[in-house]
Structure 1
Amino acid sequence: MNSYKFIIFGKVQGVWYRKYVMQIAKALGYVGYVKNLKDGSVEVVVNLDLQSELESFISKLYEGSTFSKVTDIECQKIDFVDFENFEKRV
């Protein structure tokens, strides 16, 4: 199991993007969190097992919610973080 941190840029606040990420993550059985950052971007930290899961999740992050427009995503592997569920943080 690996932990990854994503920073999502674009029109991603005030457009139900965090709710979208929560729904996707929970549907896929992932654990971690999503939160808005002060600069207008969104941070997602998630635990994934396989490289194919990583690629698929990034693809879904780019799709976004109906009113969002993702322009870029930074991804980095981080030290493992043990989560119990997927949550929206403030």
Structure 2
Amino acid sequence: MGTEDPNQLYSTEFEVFGQVQGCYFTKYCKEIAETIGIVGWVKNSKQGTIVGKIQGVKPLMDQMIEWLSTVGSPGCKIQKCDLTNSQQLARLDYHDFTIRF
């Protein structure tokens, strides 16, 4: 009981608050996502936050969320990372990770 399928795919939207624009956050986010094998997208919002959507298996998603919540790009100051619309997926919606404008 309670064993999760390690290959179960998940999707979540995120918004990172703090001093996160003007420090190449989206560029680093794309590099990290591609390194660990996460797909989705990221962009700067008009509100001064970073928003995006990530998809992948749970262990990799947890790594990515940890990076978005606590590490970020050099010189950024993360206040918090809100996750919304988290769900299980039958298959990925994206083939790669992109920066949107």
Normalising to structure 1: TM-score of the pair? 0.89
Q: Does the residue aligned with 1:67 lie in a helix, a strand or coil? A: coil
1:58 Cα deviation after fit: 1.7
For residue 93 of structure 2, what is the aligned residue in structure 1? 82
2:23–2:73 contact (8 Å) kept in structure 1? yes
Aligned residues: 89
For residue 70 of structure 1, what is the aligned residue in structure 2? 78
| Structure 2: segments with no counterpart, 5+ residues | 1-8
1:16–1:67 contact (8 Å) kept in structure 2? no
Going from structure 1 to structure 2, the CA distance change for 1:79 and 1:49 (only over 3 Å counts) comes to closer
1:42 Cα deviation after fit: 0.5
| Structure 1: segments with no counterpart, 5+ residues | none
For residue 10 of structure 1, what is the aligned residue in structure 2? 18
1:79 Cα deviation after fit: 7.5
Aligned counterparts of 2:96 and 2:33: Cα–Cα separation in 1? 10
Sequence identity (%): 30
Aligned counterparts of 1:79 and 1:53: Cα–Cα separation in 2? 14
